[in-house]
Amino acid sequence: MLGRRIGSHWSIAVYPTLLAAGCVVGQFVTWWPPVFALVRPLGVVVLVALLLQFMLSRALGAAQGSYLAALAVVAAVDLRIAAVVLAIGALGVAWTSVRRRRPSAPDWSGLTRFLNFVGIATVGSLVLSVGLATVGLPSSATPPRPATAGPFDAPDIYLVLLDGYPRADTLKSARGFDNSEFLEEADRLGFDLAERAHSNYNRTGLTLASFLNAAPIDDLMPNPPGGIVAQNRWLSSLISRASAVQVARQLGYEFVHLPTDVAYLTPWSADRLIDAGQLSAFEYQVMANGLLTEHPTYSMIPLFRADHAQRILGTFEALEGLAQEASAGPRLVFAHVMAPHHPIVFRRDGTAVTVDDCYWEDCNLAEPLSESLKADVVEQIEFTSTLVLNTARTIIDASPGSVVVFFSDHGFRHWLGDGSETFRSLLLAHTPDHPSLFPATSTPVNVIPRILNAYLGTTQPLADESFWATTAGAESYFPLRTFTTEPSP
């Protein structure tokens, strides 16, 4: 009796939900975004699986409907797992037909029990993988912010990372574009230009971890793990730790973050996260493994480009909104804008454009660029500059004493085909009562300490401002190659 009862429970199809959830969690293990990036895609996939299973079960019967629901939902997010589910069904048909010596439908009860086992084993192994992946990661725990606000006269601090914004000299030499009109207008608004500013690293993840912790990567990761996935897990934890920001938080600052779509680059420990709701890169990656592949003629590419453009515009709008809202205490606002980084989605007047040479963020544009592509790149830079100036005016008009820094993490590209271009980056700083706070050769690693030391009287040490480049290719960030002076082509 007990065995029959257990067997009947095993015949209840739970595998559609388990397999669908497993596909999403499997991608989570691979890409390692913060947990908040997992919640929406996992919830949507589970809900769709349950609804589809309910509808198909009513139409076709519980066993057949559950199988087709599992096949459909899994195919939408992972064609490889869908092929396994289809193969198991085909083997079930073959096995039953051989046993009965005639073409027959599968033993649906047996098939359901077997797929339930597969689903439970899949989810269990993935949960174990998540647990094992966290072993040895640096702590991302942050201390609580004091209940009282910071000093009354402490300025709001706006740090805006313009991903891939090149320095003026390489814009002139490599793109034939004179950016002096933008820089002169920034000067009229009270911004100082670090004329020989450069990034510390040629990859965004390395730059962000170093910038938010005010330390070189060699100090933060003295014994880095092997492989890009494990290294991204480390970088994600370090970015969320944000040790340099925690100094400001302990002085009463609220940490506000406006993220890009790349979730593992998000300091999820922020006190306030402002996200307009566009899909994340992780969600697109989940879809890219299913029926909506990365082929540019499929609907996912136009959706991504529209989302990408809206996120950029929304981030600048949110920055302006923050400047105009009342606040109980000082805020350190960090915005990561994926512009003028490719893909190219804007003309100089802000209208949409489609450039087929690059429709994802991490594409490799072969040099030398065609003249038309150079023009497209420049137009997106010009529109980004317009957004920067408009936002800067709004912030300064609303709060003239605010510290505002626009900076970039690398040049137009983050590989070493042209070493000098790779590292030459933008740094514009509005620092009231502290002119020329940033020297001409400033780098991201010391941005936060310089501000806190000047305005809040801290004595944060300044880190080495050398250059480090990853030369290992796409599979690893390490080893890093060190430059003591600005590399030349």
| 60-104 pLDDT per residue, tens | 999 899 989 999 999 888 888 878 877 877 776 666 666 666 666
- The domain segmentation of the chain, as residue ranges, is 2-134, 157-483
Distance, CA of 342 to CA of 447 (rounded, Å) = 25
Tell the CATH superfamily of the 157-483 domain: Alkaline Phosphatase, subunit A (3.40.720.10)
pLDDT at 356: 76
Q: Cα 159–198–232 angle (5° rounding)?
A: 70
Q: Exposed, middle or buried by CB within 10 Å (0-12, 13-18, 19+), for 131?
A: exposed
CA distances, 64 to each of 4, 16, 72, 324, 426 (Å): 22, 12, 12, 57, 60
CA distance 420 to 469: 11
Provide the 8-state DSSP code for 156.
P
Say if CB 408 and CB 164 are below 8 A apart.
yes
Q: Read off the pLDDT of residues 414-449 as tens digits, 9 standing for 90 and up.
A: 455 666 678 899 999 999 999 999 999 999 999 999
Q: Which residues of the chain have pLDDT under 50?
A: 1-9, 296-297, 414
Contacts of 253 (CB under 8 A, 6+ apart): 145, 150, 154, 157, 329, 330, 331, 332
Reading the block at residue 332, the tokens are 């350190």
Asked if residues 407 and 170 have their Cβ atoms less than 8 Å apart, the reply is no
**What is the predicted pLDDT for the residue at 18?**
94
- Residue 460: what pLDDT? 95
Instruction: State residue 134's pLDDT score.
Output: 79
Question: Could you identify the residue written with the tokens 């809206």?
Answer: 310
Q: How far apart are CA 246 and CA 264, in angstroms?
A: 19
Whole-number pLDDT of residue 435: 93
Tell me how far apart the alpha carbons of residues 111 and 106 are, in angstroms, rounded to a whole number.
Answer: 7
pLDDT at site 257: 97
Q: In terms of pTM, does the model score above 0.85?
A: yes
pLDDT at 297: 47
